[in-house]
Structure 1
Amino acid sequence: MHTVGSSIEHWSENPQVYFSNLDPDVTAAVIAASADLCLVIDAHGVVRDLTIGGTPQQDLSEVRRWIGRPWVDTVSVESRAKIHALLESGRQAVSSSAVRVERQVNHPLAGGQELPVAYSVVPLGTQGRLLALGRNLHALAAVQQRLVDAQQSMERDYLRLRHTEARYRLLFEAVDEALLVIDASTHIVLEHNAAAARLLGEASRRIIGRPVIDFLAVGSQSGAQALLAQVRSTGRSETDELKLAGSGAGLRLVASLFKQDSAALLLLRLAPIERSVGRSAADVEGQSLAHVVNAMPDAFVLTDMQGRVLAANPAFLNMVQLPGGEAITGQPLDRWLGRSSVDLNVLIGNLRQHGVLRLFPTTLRSGYGEAVQIEISAVAVVDVQPACLGFSIRDVSRRLPADGRSQRQLPRSAEQLTGLVGRLPLKDIVGETVDLIERLCIEAALELTRDNRASAAEMLGLSRQSLYVKLRRYGIQDAPSPPALEP
């Protein structure tokens, strides 16, 4: 007589002993209870019947529409090869006791969802029908998806933490101020930046792990200890002056309390006393330079890169003679400078290209319309914020001309012109005079603009095409043709 244990162990080897007269309804119930999804597949691979066992974890009403459709058409594209493999293995099986291969496939459902199922097939009789027993992997897939989401969230948090730490390290090392992070209880140095190593005069490996008191002179250690004890109760404090051990250099120490992982830490800022003295000397130097500029007899103007006045010395204010105490700050410099706005455009264009301009001749108009001849030397300072332009302006209206300086002389005197009367028609005499004056004006405009023909044309009120035509007409320099007519 077989015991229960032995029957459980050997019934799969002799199924005819127990299942030969099994009722079909009982067989169907057993199959439905043993699998989440059971499909009856005919010899052509078409689903002929199905049953849903267990408790569905999602809406599977759409599954019943598979009946009458090829099994391979109910799965996603990447799962079709697995269905073909299952059908082939089922056809080759000799009996239901043959080794069966399980395949995991995905069934697309409505709304973009998928139903993951693990199938194994069993042959049903000799007509080529197969029984596909499936396990619903939806719950397992949901757990796996949550695991993947948790891993991705951890990766994002870890990456964000690494970026934050990198930014902290960069800022910690980039600041010029000496910084130390110490333990609030033991005063042991935990971290420091490069500026602190330079200030303390120690190598980095000799600073970490040592009490910060060791780096101070004996006379300053008691004051530093009292400061650190006070910081633990107040959160922040600073000292007037401490001395470094060895060098004896004076410094000011500022301490702040903060928490990290339930541990109390102190951030120490070390500022050398000599640094504040250096800043005072720089301030004195800057004030002296400002006094010198204000006392200069030549005008000086500071503008932005577009030519708007930022500051000017008293000499410039006297030259422009603003009526009624009008403010000069924010005004465009070409309001007073140059025969037209062309002069300032030429100045700014040369400064942006070369950085320096010397002895540029032009005129300066006062607030009452009086014009004086001036020379300008200018510089562009672009390595400060904001970038600016500096103009040194000198009145040259009373300057005597240099010896041997060539002066333009008219080729014909008044007597020579009147002598042409009777020989030439008046129209020809006037035309020759007009041509002479036109040529002299063009030459003067080219000289004022440093041979910048676009600016010269704007100064003369001509188009560039017209200016090139006149240059060729009078044979002034070698005037190439313009690239295109201006609109």
Structure 2
Amino acid sequence: MDASTTGFKPQNRAAPLTALADLPFAAMVQGLLAMADIALLIDSGGVILDLALGFAEMAPLPVTAWPGRPWRDTVVADNRGKIDAMLAGDPEPARWRLVNHSLDDGELPIRYRLLPAGPGHWLAIGQDQRHLASQQQRLIAAQQAMERDTLQLRQAEARYRLLFAATSEAVLIVDPAEGTVLDANPAALRLIGSGGAVGLGLATLVHPDSRATVGRLLAQAVDQASPVRVRLPGGDNCLLSVATVQQDWGQVLLARLRVQPGDRQPAQRRLDDLLERMPDAFVLTDADLRILACNQAFIDLLHKPRGAVIRTPLNAHFGQPGMDVALLAAELAGDGRVQRFVTTVRRGGDAGECAVSVAAVSARDGAVMRHGFSLQAVSASVPPLRQTPRSVEQLTSLVGHMALKDIVRESTDLIERLCIEAALQQTGDNRASAAEMLGLSRQSLYAKLHRHHLGNLDHSDE
């Protein structure tokens, strides 16, 4: 059989095979099986009349029982629409469709192309896709394995971060080439009194007198140099040890700082013990008003664990952080001290707010600015005399610490609160008279009392 007798042109695969309609089915598919693994002869009703297999591996499959069955019944239920579309649609231009045949022990994926095979007949040539399905399964398995490895890596990293943060020993991860800090745990930040150490040189985190010692230690780190005594910016002496740690992506230096109990002077130890045991709350902050240390009285006042307080901004614990902290910062910047500043602190749990009187002072520790705050709870029976900005000078001192709109908004809130307090005081806590005095309805007054947390609203005279 050649091209002159059949009219078939192999180089034009898109040409219709109508010239093969008079040939027997076996002869018609003989050339097509070279590119197909299976060929089906289908009548106009979609019933398989005959089939031919292109290679021996298809023979053990139960495909030989398909003749006499509707083609759509041999595939899985959700693929029958594809069979119906191929039989009902225009086969020109024909395209490949992937369907899954239903077998007793699984599925058989075959990609079909439907061609006309004479009046009322179709020829479906198919290519076995099991090797592609196997590759896809291996790819999916590899992706799942990668996802499991990634999850295990993230869990290990989370455990490392948890241990790194929870350990009481001051630990820093240092780049051996640059000498810069890659990571530092909270214990290290508390010890060196720095708001952030990442990206800074390790030598810059100690006292200037000890920087040359740190430089020499980093240069000898690969030789497991012995610990050296260095001085911290706050004046404490400690032992600094550096060790090389091998990572998958290179080497890092593990730097550890250990304060020796005998390094602190007796007077300094007594002062620390005194501050810890004093009845008034005491807080030490850096120049940005971020808490560096506090005593037990401050922890008891906030009803929060010490770990949730250290390294947090001081304004995170004030009742009205914007105005109060701006006033404190302005007065500390101007006079270096604050006395009898009355505000409120937010306590943890359901404890609500507590009125406190604040005294503060600023001092330099070498080149580092520190702020100390003493907070004393105000008795509920004594009406708080809130330190308010009553002069133009006090209001203008907030410029540079707060945006204009924030100064106006919080000043308005403060004036509103003071006016309501004054009206309640003048009327003997008669809210109806206070509302009339302020030109408000009783509902508006109650809403403002709720907003400013004023009055005993559980026993209102509504």
* TM-score normalised by L of structure 1: 0.47
Determine which structure has more spread, i.e. the larger CA radius of gyration.
Answer: 1
